[in-house]
């Protein structure tokens, strides 16, 4: 079973019984193994608070200046409700960048912080699509979707080497954000697989961004790409079947 | 002292804003007309439909033109849709030394910015030319290691060209453009694993959209790692070996443009199979003369090793997959004597007679065969109705030294126009291709781009009846 199969299995488990159950006992086992991220409501709340702290950062101000649609009157309301455009991908970029900027300003080390900074992208994707509970797919919660996204990111990052100048955390977070967004948009089966494929081909981010404005920007962009990939997959964009383990896929390129 | 990246950007912006030297001017006009053709042709495709659906959900309406469509989108979605459309059918262009298709992402970039920057004709063409040139030079610096590793260089290098083209139109200076490249370096996209799916052309669309965003964010004051094109910067991340001289610092005085080497595709599929398809189309009448196609018993293609590497699909299942099957290209060439959009449709990809011929083809990879050459050998059994023991007809062998459309045998202006007419025809009518060609040729002296844009959208009801 490929890594993409494993991610689909853990996403299926997050979607609840009857939605997309793991295809095999093997799949169920691997879900139990990697499903240890256990994102809590408190962590989600902490992410929201961090995003609020970073809402006035230079990076968020610049993003607001270039985002489509009318800018909100109060920049510091961004993480809560004000969506500068109807596109939730932009909300994800702003929120992820804000949280990463706040974490950077707090002087946290990006890799040893309570939440790996790059993985803030997964939270950002979740929050951007949280909306009202009744609009979520049946049985799905933001917490469960973020949990699955974090597990997916963890699974991907274990297959990446921390060398070569890429930011493995950001690369992995792109996949995680796509899984979270896909679950919140109700994607299953081939569509969720396509979302992972659209994310994988766009996974990027540089280690050298650490300490520059580009770090918050690339974390937020991972969230943007994840949400957009889920939207594109839902609309029917096709993608490779094995974007991670394929011969010219993500692990071959970043591993 | 300015950084390497600033030097590079200064040269690119000078080139964009100055007068293009005649060979670069001609190459830019030809490349532009060609990708407008592929963009118009694919404007009604399923992939573009997907993007329009997503744009609707995202509130992506705006003023920017998507060639071939009546509706307009905001700059982000217009760039995404135009870049994806222009590259979708793999019928666009190729810079053979890097295998970059520079036109799609650069076209998408400059088109998306026209409403807000209202460029003159020379500014529009200059930004297009410099956007192509920037990505080709960066591509040369990371070739061949980057592509060989598995990256789809059209996406990964296209974003830098898009950032330069956007910077030229947005009026940015070299220092700001250098920061745009630093931000673009964090937004590279494109795995070769995506070949044969809609995600491949999306790479060109994302390169454009991301490049524009990088330029806008730099203009808003942001920056990333210093000197991304310098030692230990992004080029070393993209490739295990880097030839920084290929950036051509100090250019453009007295140096040729890489854009002059951009070639126009003659068939809608991966370019490395084109010599083989030339050979198959040449062999078609010779085979038809003597016996029916059913008598073919074996087909051997001696080709460059990139053919099986990039075009190795044995039995493609649909039109997009068939674009990555050299066997398919050869089979349709032998069977039909042509290889246009119809021969790369879903129907052609699944036709039993095509599948049978594909199954008979052996790819004989040989590093001594240049990328624009191939040798095709077709063996046949005895003709139908011949007595038992009758001798087999002699094999048909066709050697192609330089494929049509290659740098050694470029398409003439008339051949290019014929291609673009065929691409415009079903969508806007062939006459619109002539209008686009005329408008492009007037760009170097045009006050604006209005005449060109008028040729890129369907006529309104009033225009049609008047």
Of the candidates B97, B98, B100, B82, the one whose C-alpha atom is nearest the C-alpha of residue B38 is B82
Q: Rounded CA gap, A141 and B22, in Å?
A: 61
A82 vs B: CB within 8 A: no
User: With respect to CATH, is domain A3-68+75-254 assigned 1.10.4100.10?
Assistant: yes
**Beta strands B296-303; B361-365: pairing state:** parallel
- Taking only residues 109 to 168 of chain A, the set having a beta carbon closer than 8 angstroms to any beta carbon of chain B reads 164-166
pLDDT in tens, B393-431: 889 999 999 999 988 899 999 999 999 999 999 999 999
Q: Which residues of A touch B194 (CB under 8 A)?
A: 197, 201, 239-240, 243
Q: Rounded CA gap, B393 and B289, in Å?
A: 12
DSSP strands (E only) in B77-124: 93-95
Concatenated DSSP letters of B389-417: TPPPPPPEEEEESS-TTSTTSPPPHHHHH
- CA–CA min distance A82, chain B (Å): 15
Computed over every residue of chain A, the mean pLDDT equals 85
Q: Which residues of B touch A242 (CB under 8 A)?
A: 193
pLDDT in tens, A185-200: 999 999 999 999 999 9
pLDDT in tens, A198-229: 999 999 999 999 999 999 999 999 999 999 99
- Contact check, Cβ <8 Å, B46/A236: yes
Q: Which residues of B touch A217 (CB under 8 A)?
A: 183, 186, 217, 222, 224
- Other CB atoms within 10 Å distance of the CB of residue A19: 17
Write the class of the CATH domain B4-265+410-454. Answer: mainly alpha
Residues 6+ apart with CB under 8 A from A185: A129, A137, A230, A231, A234
Residues A217 and A59: beta-carbon distance below 8 Å = yes
- CA–CA min distance B164, chain A (Å): 17
Residue of B nearest to A249 (CA): B193
Q: How confident is the model at residue A77 (pLDDT cuts 50, 70, 90)?
A: very low
DSSP H or E run through B434: helix B430-442
User: Mean pLDDT lowest for which of A132-136, A251-255, B161-165, B277-281?
Assistant: A132-136
**Choice between A32 and B455, residue whose per-residue pLDDT is larger:** B455
User: Mean pLDDT lowest for which of A9-18, A33-42, B76-85?
Assistant: A33-42
Q: How confident is the model at residue A34 (pLDDT cuts 50, 70, 90)?
A: very low
Report the pLDDT value the prediction gives residue A144, as an integer from 0 to 100: 94
Q: Is the pLDDT of residue B316 over 60?
A: yes
Residues 6+ apart with CB under 8 A from A110: A103, A104, A116, A117, A118, A169, A210, A215
Q: Is the pLDDT of residue A30 over 60?
A: no
Q: Rounded CA gap, A17 and B2, in Å?
A: 60
Residues 6+ apart with CB under 8 A from A133: A141
Q: Which residues of B touch A86 (CB under 8 A)?
A: 57-59
What's the 3-state SS for A61-127? Answer: HHHHHHCCCCCCCCHHHCCCCCCCCCCHHHHHHHHHHHHHHHHHHCCCCCCCCCCCHHHHHHHHHHH
Of all residues in chain B, the percent with pLDDT exceeding 70 is 97
User: What is the mean predicted confidence (pLDDT) over B25-42?
Assistant: 98
| 0.80 exceeded by pTM | yes
Residue of A nearest to B187 (CA): A204
**Beta strands B374-380; B296-303: pairing state:** antiparallel
Report the pLDDT value the prediction gives residue B175, as an integer from 0 to 100: 98
pLDDT in tens, B334-387: 999 999 999 999 999 999 999 999 999 999 999 999 999 999 999 988 777 777
Q: Is the pLDDT of residue A69 over 80?
A: no
| Cβ burial, residue B379 (10 Å; 0-12/13-18/19+) | middle
pLDDT in tens, B145-178: 999 999 999 999 999 999 999 999 999 999 999 9
Report the pLDDT value the prediction gives residue B264, as an integer from 0 to 100: 97
Report the pLDDT value the prediction gives residue B120, as an integer from 0 to 100: 98
- Contact check, Cβ <8 Å, A243/B234: no
Q: Is the pLDDT of residue A26 over 80?
A: no
Report the pLDDT value the prediction gives residue A138, as an integer from 0 to 100: 87
Q: Rounded CA gap, B231 and A69, in Å?
A: 39
pLDDT in tens, B84-114: 999 999 999 999 899 999 999 999 999 999 9
What 3-state DSSP class applies to B34?
A: helix
ipTM computed for the complex = 0.93
- Contact check, Cβ <8 Å, B320/A246: no
Q: Rounded CA gap, A223 and A229, in Å?
A: 10
Residues B74 and A84: beta-carbon distance below 8 Å = no
Of the candidates A213, A173, A208, the one whose C-alpha atom is nearest the C-alpha of residue A61 is A213
Omega before A18 cis (within 30°)? no
- Contact check, Cβ <8 Å, A213/B222: yes
Q: Rounded CA gap, B180 and B212, in Å?
A: 9
Report the pLDDT value the prediction gives residue B377, as an integer from 0 to 100: 97
- Taking only residues 83 to 102 of chain A, the set having a beta carbon closer than 8 angstroms to any beta carbon of chain B reads 85-89
Could you state, in order of their start, the residue ranges of all structural domains in chain B? Answer: 4-265+410-454, 271-400
Report the pLDDT value the prediction gives residue A74, as an integer from 0 to 100: 40
Q: Which fold has domain B271-400?
A: 60s Ribosomal Protein L30; Chain: A; (3.30.1330)
Report the pLDDT value the prediction gives residue B295, as an integer from 0 to 100: 78
Number of Cβ pairs < 8 A linking chain A and chain B: 160
- Other CB atoms within 10 Å distance of the CB of residue A68: 18
- CA–CA min distance B166, chain A (Å): 13
- Taking only residues 223 to 262 of chain B, the set having a beta carbon closer than 8 angstroms to any beta carbon of chain A reads 223-225, 233-234, 236-237
- The tokens describing A246, both together, are 């394929």
């Amino acid at each position: 079973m490929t890594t993409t199969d494993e991610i689909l299995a853990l996403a299926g488990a997050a979607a609840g019984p009857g939605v997309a159950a793991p295809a095999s006992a093997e799949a169920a086992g691997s879900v139990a193994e990697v499903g240890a991220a256990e994102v809590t409501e408190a962590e989600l709340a902490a992410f929201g608070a961090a995003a609020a702290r970073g809402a006035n950062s230079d990076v968020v101000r610049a993003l607001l200046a270039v985002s489509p649609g009318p800018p909100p009157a109060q920049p510091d309301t961004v993480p809560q409700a004000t969506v500068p455009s109807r596109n939730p991908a932009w909300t994800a970029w702003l929120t992820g960048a804000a949280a990463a900027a706040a974490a950077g300003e707090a002087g946290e080390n990006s890799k040893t912080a309570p939440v790996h900074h790059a993985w803030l992208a997964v939270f950002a994707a979740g929050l951007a699509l949280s909306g009202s509970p009744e609009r979520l797919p049946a049985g799905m919660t933001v917490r469960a979707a973020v949990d699955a996204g974090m597990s997916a990111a963890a699974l991907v990052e274990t297959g990446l080497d921390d060398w070569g100048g890429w930011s493995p955390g950001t690369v992995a977070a792109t996949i995680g954000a796509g899984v979270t967004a896909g679950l919140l948009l109700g994607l299953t089966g081939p569509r969720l697989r396509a979302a992972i494929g659209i994310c994988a081909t766009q996974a990027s981010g540089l280690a050298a961004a650490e300490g520059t404005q580009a770090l918050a920007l690339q974390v937020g962009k991972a969230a943007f790409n994840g949400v957009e990939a889920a939207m594109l997959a839902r609309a029917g964009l096709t993608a490779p079947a094995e974007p991670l383990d394929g011969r010219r896929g993500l692990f071959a390129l970043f591993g | 002292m300015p950084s390497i990246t600033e030097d590079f950007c200064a040269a690119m912006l000078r080139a964009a804003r100055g007068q293009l030297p005649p060979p670069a001017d001609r190459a830019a006009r030809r490349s532009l007309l060609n990708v407008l053709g592929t963009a118009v042709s694919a404007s009604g495709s399923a992939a573009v439909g997907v993007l329009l659906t997503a744009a609707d959900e995202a509130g992506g309406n705006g003023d920017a033109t998507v060639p071939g469509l009546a509706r307009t989108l905001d700059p982000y979605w217009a760039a995404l849709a135009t870049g994806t459309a222009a590259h979708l059918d793999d019928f666009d262009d190729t810079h053979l030394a890097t295998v970059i298709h520079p036109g799609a992402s650069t076209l998408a970039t400059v088109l998306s910015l026209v409403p807000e920057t209202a460029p003159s004709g020379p500014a529009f063409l200059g930004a297009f030319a410099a956007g192509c040139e920037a990505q080709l030079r960066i591509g040369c610096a990371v070739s061949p290691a980057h592509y060989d590793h598995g990256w789809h260089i059209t996406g990964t290098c296209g974003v830098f060209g898009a950032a330069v083209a956007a910077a030229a139109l947005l009026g940015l200076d070299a220092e700001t453009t250098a920061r745009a490249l630093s931000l673009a370096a964090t937004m590279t996209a494109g795995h070769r694993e995506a070949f044969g799916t809609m995600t491949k052309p999306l790479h060109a669309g994302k390169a454009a959209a991301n490049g524009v965003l990088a330029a806008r964010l730099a203009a808003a004051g942001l920056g990333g790692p210093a000197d991304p094109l310098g030692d230990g910067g992004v080029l070393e991340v993209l490739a295990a070996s880097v030839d920084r001289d290929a950036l051509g610092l100090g250019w453009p005085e007295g140096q040729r443009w890489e854009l002059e080497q951009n070639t126009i595709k003659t068939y809608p599929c991966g370019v490395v199979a084109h010599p083989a398809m030339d050979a198959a189309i040449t062999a078609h009448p010779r085979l038809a003369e003597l016996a029916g196609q059913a008598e073919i018993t074996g087909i051997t293609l001696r080709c460059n090793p990139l053919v099986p590497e990039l075009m190795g699909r044995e039995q493609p299942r649909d039109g997009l997959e068939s674009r990555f099957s050299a066997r398919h290209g050869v089979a349709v060439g032998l069977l039909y004597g042509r290889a246009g959009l119809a021969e790369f449709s879903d129907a052609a990809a699944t036709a039993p007679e095509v599948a049978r011929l594909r199954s008979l083809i052996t790819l004989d990879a040989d590093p001594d065969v240049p990328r624009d050459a191939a040798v095709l050998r077709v063996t046949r059994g005895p003709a139908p109705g011949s007595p038992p023991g009758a001798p087999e007809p002699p094999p048909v062998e066709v050697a192609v030294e330089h494929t049509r459309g290659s740098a050694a045998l470029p398409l003439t202006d008339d051949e290019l126009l014929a291609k673009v007419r065929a691409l415009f025809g079903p969508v806007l009518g062939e006459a619109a291709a002539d209008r686009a060609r005329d408008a492009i040729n007037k760009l170097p002296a045009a006050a604006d781009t209005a005449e060109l844009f008028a040729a890129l959208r369907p006529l309104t009801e009033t225009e049609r009846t008047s």
